[in-house]
Structure 1
Amino acid sequence: MSKFNSLEDHATRRFRLAGKAYLEGGDPFFAPVDTLRREAAASGRRFVSFANYDYLGLSTHPEVKRAAAEALEAQGVGALASRLVGGQRSLHTELEQDISRFLGVESTLVLVSGYLANVTTISHLLGSRDALFIDELSHNSIVSGSKGAVAQTVTFRHNDFDHLDFLLRERRERYRNVLIVVESLYSMDGDVADLERLIELKERHNVWLMVDEAHSVGVLGDTGRGLCEFAGVDPARVDLIVGTLSKSLASCGGFVAAKSAVVEWMRYTLPGFVYSVGLSPVICAAASAALRLAQEESWRVKRLRENAEAFVALAHEAGLDTGPAIGRGVAPILFPDSFETLAASQHLLENGFYVPPIIQIGVPKDQPRLRFFISAAHTREDVKGVIDCLAARAAVAKERPAAAAGAALAP
């Protein structure tokens, strides 16, 4: 008989296996950012965060805060029920219409979580005679959605659409319906999917295509309308667009956009919508205000692009590895091992830059990194400063082995 393990014992063992040893020198996660920022300001020190995906710098915009405050005063905090059984607020419909117009799609449904939007949509669409094809570097919300689906899941190599084409040619006829799911801008690597190629594969193999635009709305395209604008593709050719309100729109929640008939069906059947509370009026108002400002203050998209391109260019000049990042919104800097990544993160924090390490969770174990979210609110001095800080540390690290070797050879 196996020994009984308490839930506490189980959790402790799993935590140790997941890499608790990395925290023994200090926990770089869950930092009280507001406190750190306040303390730095009070002492005249620098504190610049590259850990928050406020891509357009709208999270503290006076008009966003004013819209939230007015909604709070007029309608209170909570949505109070599922929209289906408890009724909805006019703000829900207004936000959905605003997103639809912005993206150039027929209809949109907003949910309380971007993560939930992927999980519930994927698991709801497919049956036992269907298949789901996903990128090997898909976000955990896509993977979780695949695990909740009764359909078969097939994984293709990251952004390798020749491989996807091969798999579809080999297996498409086995299934009734097939859904391809990709991300537009990948949140760990900062690279993008080839939408034109995906559209060609979708139409040739007669399958559905879902694009997760979480990190690309407000980022990709001349006016921030996402991967379709960036690639010059009509959004009507994409079956489903899923996104979030928590990044460029400075709020919280998710959305699913599609043809009107599809969204209307989901309004009455999608579990994550029907059986979950609606968005708070405060959240709706803030997101709507941010979306309006993103269009009125279009310079923010341009400044974000310039900052991100400068970040990647300066990193390359300094000999730092940004992987496949294209210089839009998010970019990693890769390190040889997790402990070096932790040390680099701590070095940045000591010099006024907050960039938590990405190790063990969310990326392959042999590809630890610091992930930088670039914002329109960052200055060129912020961007250059953080690269200079990392480059100086890297130069010192390179000198240490040479110095040690020289000492060992000395008489």
Structure 2
Amino acid sequence: MPRKGLHGLTAQLKDALILQALERRLQTAERQETATSGSTRPESATIPEKFYRFHLHPGYQQLRIINDGGVRLGISNPFFKLHEGIAGATTVINGKEYINYSSYNYLGLVGHPAVAEASKQAIDQYGTSVSASRPVSGERPVHRQLEKALAETYQVDDAIAFVSGHATNVSTIGYLFGPKDLVLHDELIHNSILQGIQLSGAKRLSFPHNDYTALDQILKNQRHQFERVLIVLEGIYSMDGDYPDLPAFVEIKKRYCAFLMVDEAHSFGIMGEKGLGIREHFALQGSDVDIWMGTLSKALAGCGGYIAGETALIEHLKFLAPGFLYSVGMPPSVAASSLAALELIRQTPELTATLKARGQLFLKLAQEAGINTGSSAGLAIIPAITGSSLKAARLAEALFERGINVQPIIYPAVPEKSARLRFFISCLHTEEQIRKTVAILAEEI
């Protein structure tokens, strides 16, 4: 039975009515404000105020509606919580310790003594910034060392490290492809890919999630109309925690003479027996994928992104990709920390094994409790799908009150019907923490 609220209305209907009322009030206030301010403007002013005032920007107006609605519904803002130390399996917020599921610290290497020491030594030797773009005078040995180690890990010629993971995708795709090209991507691909395609001017087509047969059909109909074709996938999808059948996509890209790009932001360090990513998981050659992309901010305990591939690709990006050429070089301390983390992943595969065990335990317990975990493979990302943004926000708040920190993922980050809590699992989580979390989650749902 639906829960009843004010005057016999269901709580869901009451929530919707409150939000509608807030939106009407906001629109009325805007009209009044525009009318009042318009009376003081010169007669020659014909440009509507909404076109030159930030507080009247549609995006900001929508944000105000959401925030005001949350206040009216008694939901506190779940974002920008202030963490007071290293965020691992636990974290401290406002002086209180929480079991933490809102960190990419999958392998617990953020704050690892060897990683921290490498970063400190790099600061002592090179300072806190290289103070220039790398082609100009920002190149340091640690940059080359990191890129060489990444290339060796992927069994390819070379690699390039950018200062931002998001900018890595935007700049790489935006530079390499153009109006005569086609980019095909999974429908659940990350925003950075979409922004890169928009920048490139290439035609963009999506295919159903992980559906390589649909991709094959699109290429059969479209390939001959374009010069270059790029197919883009993720190693592990950041909202759902599942992964593609990569060998099937490799076969298709070869058959249609297309480029294949795999974004390993969430799969490197997590997939494969030794944590070396989806390539190792499927026992593929490095050359089977044209553009390997990953971030340094997840398992690699740093910040930034990288591209790994053949020499021609990497040289091209190093000399001409705007996001690299015109951006300051990565701080030496960040490059050093990610290099140290990469060495630890190679030397201690038990970190990945423990992470997998904890993820599988969480998934098993959640499914047994009847929680909707979608298509998650239980490797590191497990959603609890609520089907409504309000439900997700309320559920996150309820868990926070009981000592569990997990973020709601709400519209427009995901479709409204797919709103969820997203649990990031760490190898540092104990079995006891996971059992306790799933029990409380099931209770609150």
- Give TM-score, length-normalised by structure 1: 0.92
In structure 2, the residue matched to 1:12 is 60
In structure 1, the residue matched to 2:210 is 159
* Aligned ranges 1:112-261 → 2 under 5 Å: 112-261=163-312
Query: Distance in 2 between the 1:153 and 1:317 partners?
Result: 40
Query: Distance in 1 between the 2:351 and 2:397 partners?
Result: 30
Query: Distance in 2 between the 1:266 and 1:349 partners?
Result: 44
**1:29 equivalent among 76, 79, 82:** 79
- Contact 2:387-2:416 within 8 A present in 1 as well: no
In structure 1, the residue matched to 2:377 is 326
Helix, strand or coil for the counterpart of 1:72?
Answer: helix
In structure 1, the residue matched to 2:419 is 368
- Contact 1:19-1:360 within 8 A present in 2 as well: no
In structure 2, the residue matched to 1:275 is 326
- Contact 1:18-1:360 within 8 A present in 2 as well: no
Shift of residue 138, structure 1, vs aligned partner: 0.8
Query: Distance in 1 between the 2:65 and 2:225 partners?
Result: 39
2:56 is matched by which residue type in structure 1? D
In structure 2, the residue matched to 1:3 is 48
Cα distance 1:271–1:366, how it changes in 2: closer, same or farther (>3 A)? same
In structure 2, the residue matched to 1:409 is none
**1:54 equivalent among 105, 108, 113:** 105
**2:125 equivalent among 66, 71, 74:** 74
Shift of residue 306, structure 1, vs aligned partner: 0.3
Shift of residue 86, structure 1, vs aligned partner: 1.7
- Contact 2:399-2:444 within 8 A present in 1 as well: no
Helix, strand or coil for the counterpart of 1:250?
Answer: coil
Unaligned runs of 5+ in 1: 395-411
Shift of residue 16, structure 1, vs aligned partner: 3.4
Helix, strand or coil for the counterpart of 1:59?
Answer: coil
The CA deviation string for residues 145-174 of structure 1, in whole angstroms up to 9 with x for no partner, is: 111112111111111111111110001000
Shift of residue 123, structure 1, vs aligned partner: 0.9
- Contact 2:138-2:328 within 8 A present in 1 as well: no
Helix, strand or coil for the counterpart of 2:437?
Answer: helix
Query: Distance in 2 between the 1:277 and 1:325 partners?
Result: 37
Shift of residue 37, structure 1, vs aligned partner: 3.9
Shift of residue 7, structure 1, vs aligned partner: 1.3
In structure 1, the residue matched to 2:399 is 348
CA RMSD of aligned residues (A): 1.6
Query: Distance in 1 between the 2:236 and 2:419 partners?
Result: 19
- Contact 1:46-1:351 within 8 A present in 2 as well: no
Matching of residue 339 in structure 1 with residue 387 in structure 2: no
1:49 is matched by which residue type in structure 2? N
Helix, strand or coil for the counterpart of 2:395?
Answer: helix
Query: Distance in 1 between the 2:131 and 2:435 partners?
Result: 46
Shift of residue 19, structure 1, vs aligned partner: 6.3
Shift of residue 341, structure 1, vs aligned partner: 1.1
The CA deviation string for residues 331-371 of structure 1, in whole angstroms up to 9 with x for no partner, is: 11101322211111011111111001100132112110000
In structure 2, the residue matched to 1:111 is 162
In structure 2, the residue matched to 1:404 is none
- Give the share of equivalent positions with the same residue, in percent: 37
Cα distance 1:337–1:101, how it changes in 2: closer, same or farther (>3 A)? same
* Aligned ranges 1:306-325 → 2 under 5 Å: 306-325=357-376
Larger radius of gyration: 2
- Contact 2:138-2:329 within 8 A present in 1 as well: no
Bigger relative contact order, structure 1 or 2 (CA pairs below 8 A, ≥6 apart) = 1
1:21 is matched by which residue type in structure 2? G
In structure 2, the residue matched to 1:401 is none
- Contact 2:76-2:397 within 8 A present in 1 as well: no
1:29 is matched by which residue type in structure 2? F
Helix, strand or coil for the counterpart of 1:28?
Answer: coil
Helix, strand or coil for the counterpart of 1:378?
Answer: coil
Helix, strand or coil for the counterpart of 1:182?
Answer: strand
Helix, strand or coil for the counterpart of 1:181?
Answer: strand
Helix, strand or coil for the counterpart of 1:273?
Answer: helix
Unaligned runs of 5+ in 2: 1-45
- Contact 1:100-1:107 within 8 A present in 2 as well: yes
